[in-house]
Amino acid sequence: MKILTLNFLTCARKLCKSSNTAFPLHPQDAELEIVEQDMNVEFLRNILPRLMWEELSGVVGELGLPALPPTVPTLESLTEKKLKAAENDPTGMNVVEVEVPSQVALDLHRLLLETCVKEGKLVCGSCGHEYQVREGIANFLLPGHLV
Amino acid sequence: MSRPEDTLPPDLFYNDTESRKYTTSSRIQKIQSDMTHRALDLLSLTHSSLILDVGCGSGLSGEILSASDAQGTPAGPHVWVGFDISASMLGVALEKEVDGDLFLADAGQGVPFRPGTFDAAISISAIQWLCNAESSEESASGRLSRFFNGLYASLRRGGRAVLQFYPKNDTQKTMISSAAIRAGFGAGLLEDDPGTKNAKTYLVLTVGGGELDGDITGVVRGMEGVDVMDERRRAKERRRGKEEKGSKAWIVRKKEQMERKGKVVKANSKYTGRKRRIAF
Ligand SMILES: C[S@@+](CC[C@H](N)C(=O)[O-])C[C@H]1O[C@@H](n2cnc3c(N)ncnc32)[C@H](O)[C@@H]1O
Ligand SMILES: [Zn+2]
């Protein structure tokens, strides 16, 4: 499960619906893995305004990952302009300006889309329910009496 | 042939053997892929999105969400989260190393994501299962309402969901679509090839942007390929004795009318002129 998903997932129990501690769930005994994905700046641009940055920082801390900057990066900071040799130019003299993902975007991509919880559990801060994660799949099936 | 929903609960029906058989059948792969593409057309996504796949199974639909625009997925690749009640189906998805995040979860228990999480949702051939509740403690209508309420909340304002399903009969079709409307969705029901054994039903749902969009007929209207008709308009048209909106005669007449006015008429697609049943 991607760290991105942890920024949206809540406890599934009805009694936690209106609680403000049922999000984010807290990873425990988590084993992380990196699963490489193609860089997609457009997706980052779409999702960035929807992130809850403080909660993301909290989870990153709980997982023992390097701390995030205190505020959410701006959309502008996701790309930067770079000079590149023009295509089909045998002289190599001509350069064009291209937009490429910035280091900020590469770091966000690494954290949100490539860093995954492989094993462990996710614990609700409100009811204490533990959702097991096995091979990256979280079990959100609730026994009837907990629905 | 009996409906699988009437034989076993989904997690038992989609066991290891059935999940593998399902996923490796080239006939099924083709049908699920066609329906996923149809659902994507109806979603009209304009940028790389976060999508929920309800009853994602082994990821036949999800793999298409992960494909790029060049590979035929509009605005793709998208990032998706899938959930399914069958551990065997998810096991096959794991083996295939799909890109989406997988959850073992029951749609009838709700959608555990914070409000406004997803740009869109799809579900291909799954939600008819929600109508069979004999194995659970809750009624079918209770499960449908938990599902649609959760789905509604988890989508962004202006978001859409397209759910293809196999209704057992008209009662079930109405039961499902009215549960969606009660949850707050603007809804339209679209049928490809109605009355044939290839009939496909798509429930197209929109989340209004606020109070002004509360009228469901306003929200879904204007969406490509989906016609909405609510009781009010239908009554008006009956009074005027007009041909039924959306009928072939109606489309042809409208097209001619627009061409006469010098307007550009939308190019014919493979769905043009096909009979569609309209509800609401
Ligand atoms: C016909 S398969 C479709 C799978 C996938 N969407 C596809 O197109 O290949 C139906 C899926 O719905 C799942 N399903 C049935 N009831 C469900 C429920 N209550 N919650 C989540 N998934 C469910 C089944 O386990 C099965 O994987
Ligand atoms: Zn809880």
Residue B82 Cβ contacting ligand 1 at under 6 Å? no
Task: Given CATH 2.60.120.260, say whether it is the number of domain A4-146.
Answer: no
Every domain of chain A and the residues it spans: 4-146
| First-to-last C-alpha distance (Å) of chain B | 30
Name the burial class of residue B264, with classes exposed (0-12), middle (13-18) and buried (19+) by CB atoms within 10 angstroms of its CB. exposed
Q: Which of B89, B109, B143 to mutate to test the pocket of ligand 1 (most atoms within 8 A of CB)?
A: B89
pLDDT for residue B126 is more than 50: yes
Q: What is the pLDDT confidence band of residue A87, given thresholds at 50, 70 and 90?
A: confident
Give dist(CA B102, CA B81) in Å, integer: 6
Nearest-by-Cβ selection for B102 from A42, A137, A142: A137
Q: A1-15: per-residue pLDDT in tens?
A: 999 999 999 999 999
Strand B50-54 and strand B79-84: the pairing is: parallel
DSSP class per residue in B184-218: T-EEEEEEESTTSTT-EEEEEEE--SSGGGG-HHH
Ligand nearest to the CA of B13: 1
Ligand nearest to the CA of B4: 1
- For an interface test with B, give the residue of A18, A19, A137, A145 to mutate (most B CBs within 10 A): A137
Q: A45-55: per-residue pLDDT in tens?
A: 999 999 999 99
In chain B, beta strands by DSSP E: 50-54, 79-84, 101-104, 118-124, 155-165, 186-192, 200-206
Quote the ligand 2 centre to A124 CA distance (angstroms).
5
pLDDT for residue B261 is more than 60: no
Q: What is the pLDDT confidence band of residue B250, given thresholds at 50, 70 and 90?
A: low
Number of CB atoms found within 10 A of residue A8's CB: 25
B124 and B54 Cβ atoms separated by less than 8 Å:
no
Q: B180-195: per-residue pLDDT in tens?
A: 999 999 999 999 999 8
pLDDT at B254: 63
pLDDT for residue B270 is more than 60: no
Q: Relative to the CA of B86, which ligand 1 atom is closest? A: 25
Name every residue whose Cβ is closer than 8 Å to that of residue A134 and which is 6 or more positions away in sequence. A119
Top pLDDT among A88 and A74 is at A74
Give dist(CA B63, CA B66) in Å, integer: 5
A97 and A82 Cβ atoms separated by less than 8 Å:
yes
Q: B20-64: per-residue pLDDT in tens?
A: 999 999 999 999 999 999 999 999 999 999 999 999 999 999 999
Residue B89 Cβ contacting ligand 1 at under 6 Å? yes
Q: A97-119: per-residue pLDDT in tens?
A: 999 999 999 999 999 999 999 99
Every domain of chain B and the residues it spans: 4-230, 243-280
Q: What is the pLDDT confidence band of residue A86, given thresholds at 50, 70 and 90?
A: confident
Top pLDDT among A88 and A106 is at A106
Model ipTM value: 0.94
Q: Relative to the CA of B57, which ligand 1 atom is closest? A: 27
Q: What is the pLDDT confidence band of residue A89, given thresholds at 50, 70 and 90?
A: confident
Residue B125 Cβ contacting ligand 1 at under 6 Å? yes
B4-230, CATH topology level: Rossmann fold (3.40.50)
Quote the ligand 2 centre to A15 CA distance (angstroms).
7
Chain-centre distance of CA A79, in angstroms? 18
CA distances from B14 to B3, B17, B81, B82 (A): 13, 8, 20, 16
Q: What angle do CA B229, B234, B237 make, to 5 degrees?
A: 125
Quote the ligand 2 centre to A123 CA distance (angstroms).
8
- Name which of A108, A131, A100, A145 is nearest A27 in CA terms: A131
Cis status of the peptide bond prior to B77, with omega within 30 of 0: yes
- Name which of B61, B44, B89, B63 is nearest B165 in CA terms: B61
Q: B202-233: per-residue pLDDT in tens?
A: 999 999 864 434 344 444 555 555 555 443 34
**Quick check: B103 and A12 CB within 8 A?**
no
Q: Would the pTM of this model clear 0.90, i.e. be above it?
A: no
Give dist(CA B191, CA B226) in Å, integer: 9
User: Chain B residue closest to A1 (CA)?
Assistant: B101
Match 């770079």 to its residue by tokens: A82
The reply to whether A36 touches chain B by the CB within 8 Å rule is: no
